């Protein structure tokens, strides 16, 4: 065929292409993906904010002679008196997402940790002061409230993050390196990443959408314009994006948002049991065809697992419609459910698969914490102690099976610090008395003793320290 016959066809294709590009809309097919994300970005970007924080720290400068052991021994006190202190303002940046029109912003805990002042900058460059409503270290999430807001703000609705599939297209929006709001695109690379080590409650969405320092707290958005995750961290050896980023799923975000109706306190349900992922060796010993599920090793008496008739040796393979293969995924499936909900848990017991009903409950606060600061002339002067309960253990990220009196805080420069006591040491014995409650400990420490022999539990080991008056 001659060129004259092809020419009209080429012209028609060009006209159609130009028409398609002139009418932008959210891509809904493979062909339209090649067009533009601009309509989606225009819709969601106004709900993503920049966060600037300021923190004042006090720095003390000591004489170089203080590093010499001889001078430190004979003149240490005087050198400290002559030391100079100065205040320094540290600035940091991050991102956040407006999730309610009245100015409720979600960001990362590490973005606003220790901040004295927080400024939220909207996409239209308006600036507002903000206050911290909730900051939860265990999930690395925080809730901010914009102050003195006179009008409603654009916000992002939360999508069920369990609807995501590997390969779904997503956008990451934030403020990398402080250059201003930036949008990157990618796909969901993996789901349910639990071996990341970013926080105590590991369960992340992995994406190859470029995430860099400053993106923390920003939005991971699906193509329907809804929030599916809060960008939290990257895997990087040099500080820049290498295509492996992690976002906290919105189902975890919802558990923190519920704290708005509980006075700012994050209440997480508990499993009431401890277990481990099933390995090939364990699967073989249990006559399982393949290694799946979580092998239960301990069950808390009268806890939710105990009442659901879950026993030591059971292998939990699914919570509802979701499979679980390690302790982190089991815990995630429980703590992201509302308290009072009933769940179907599937388990294998003696090679038979069966279902039990699990009631979602908050961990009990028994015994009451009864937090107290130790005073007086004794080796524990300057510590804050409390009675361990499942609720307190969950709050500080420790095993819910631990019992006794735990050190929660240690005052800087106190006798307790100098004697080497550490945060989260559990005080087991004082002289010959087993310590079970705070009142018992403070009562014994108030007595005038010639010697203290204190036993503590640290990292599963028992350590003892003898101190004479």
Tokens of 248: 């906290």
Residue 102 bears catalytic tag = no
Among 135, 161, 185, 216, which one carries the catalytic annotation?
216
- SS3 letters for the chain? CCHHHHHHHHHHHHHHHHHHHHCCCCCCCCCHHHCCCHHHHHHHHHHEEEEEEEEEEEEEECCHHHHCHHHHHHHHHHHHHCCEEEEEEEEEEEEEEEEECCCEEEECHHHHCCCCEEEEECCCCCEEEEEEEEEECCCCEEEEEECCCCCCCCCCCECCHHHCCCCCEEEEEECHHHCCCEEEEEEEEEEEECCCCCCCCCCEEEECCCCCCCCCCCEEEECCCCEEEEEEEECCCCCCCCCCEEEEEHHHHHHHHHHHHCCCCCCCCCCCEEEEECCHHHHHHCCCCCCCCEEEEEECCCCHHHHCCCCCCCEEEEECCEECCCHHHHHHHHHCCCCCCEEEEEEEECCEEEEEEEECCCCCCCCCCCCEECCCCCCCCCEEEEECCHHHHHHHCCCCCCCCEEEEEECCCCHHHHCCCCCCCEEEEECCEECCCHHHHHHHHCCCCCEEEEEEEECCEEEEEEEEC
- Number of Cβ within 10 Å of residue 206's Cβ equals 19
Query: d(Cα 216, Cα 227) in Å, to the nearest integer?
Result: 15
Residue 110 bears catalytic tag = yes
Among 95, 135, 136, 140, which one carries the catalytic annotation?
140
Query: d(Cα 356, Cα 343) in Å, to the nearest integer?
Result: 8
- Buried b / exposed e along 302-331 (16+ C-beta atoms within 10 A): ebbbeebebeeebbbbbbeeeebbbbbbbb
Query: d(Cα 453, Cα 468) in Å, to the nearest integer?
Result: 9
Tokens of 247: 């976002």
Of 405, 413, 409, 443, the residue nearest 423 (C-alpha): 409
First to last CA, the chain: 107
Residue 140 bears catalytic tag = yes
Among 109, 110, 232, 241, which one carries the catalytic annotation?
110
Question: Could you list the active site residues?
Answer: 110, 140, 216
């Amino acid at each position: 065929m001659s060129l004259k016959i092809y020419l009209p066809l080429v012209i028609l294709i060009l006209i159609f292409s130009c028409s398609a590009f002139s009418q932008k809309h959210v891509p809904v097919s493979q062909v339209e993906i090649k067009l533009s994300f601009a309509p989606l970005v225009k819709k969601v970007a106004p709900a993503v904010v920049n966060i600037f924080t300021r923190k004042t720290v006090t720095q003390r400068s000591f004489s170089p002679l203080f590093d010499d052991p001889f001078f430190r021994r004979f003149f240490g006190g005087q050198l400290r008196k002559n030391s100079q202190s100065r205040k320094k303002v540290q600035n940091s940046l991050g991102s956040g997402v407006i999730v309610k029109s009245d100015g409720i912003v979600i960001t990362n805990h590490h973005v606003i940790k220790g901040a004295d002042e927080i400024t939220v900058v909207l996409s239209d460059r308006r600036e507002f002061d903000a206050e911290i409503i909730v900051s939860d270290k265990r999930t690395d999430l925080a809730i901010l409230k914009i102050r003195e807001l006179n009008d409603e703000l654009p916000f992002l609705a939360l999508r069920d993050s369990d609807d995501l599939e590997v390969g779904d297209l997503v956008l990451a929006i934030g403020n990398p390196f402080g250059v201003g709001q930036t949008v990157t695109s990618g796909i969901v690379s993996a789901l349910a990443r639990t071996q990341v080590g970013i926080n105590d409650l590991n369960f992340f969405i992995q994406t190859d959408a470029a995430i860099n320092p400053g993106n923390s707290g920003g939005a991971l958005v699906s193509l329907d314009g809804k929030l599916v995750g809060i960008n939290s961290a990257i895997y990087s050896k040099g500080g820049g994006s290498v295509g492996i980023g992690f976002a906290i799923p919105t189902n975890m975000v919802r558990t923190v948002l519920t704290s708005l109706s509980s006075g700012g306190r994050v209440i997480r349900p508990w499993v009431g049991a401890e277990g481990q992922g099933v390995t090939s060796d364990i699967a073989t010993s249990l006559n399982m065809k393949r290694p799946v599920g979580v092998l239960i090793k301990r069950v808390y008496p009268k806890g939710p697992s105990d009442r659901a008739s879950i026993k030591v040796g059971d292998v939990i393979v699914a919570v509802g419609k979701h499979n679980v293969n390690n302790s982190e995924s089991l815990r995630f499936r429980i703590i992201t459910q509302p308290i009072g909900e009933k769940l179907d848990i599937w388990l294998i017991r003696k090679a038979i698969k069966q279902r039990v009903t699990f009631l979602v409950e908050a961990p009990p606060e028994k015994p009451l914490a009864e937090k107290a600061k130790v005073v007086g002339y004794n080796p524990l002067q300057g510590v804050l102690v409390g009675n361990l309960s499942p609720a307190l253990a969950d709050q500080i990220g420790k095993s819910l099976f631990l019992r006794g009196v735990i050190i929660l805080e240690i005052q800087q420069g106190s006798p307790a610090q100098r004697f080497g006591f550490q945060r989260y040491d559990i005080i087991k014995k004082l002289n010959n008395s087993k310590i079970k409650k705070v009142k018992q400990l403070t009562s014994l420490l108030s007595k005038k003793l010639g010697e203290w022999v204190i036993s503590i539990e640290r990292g599963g080991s028992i350590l003892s320290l003898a101190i004479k008056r």
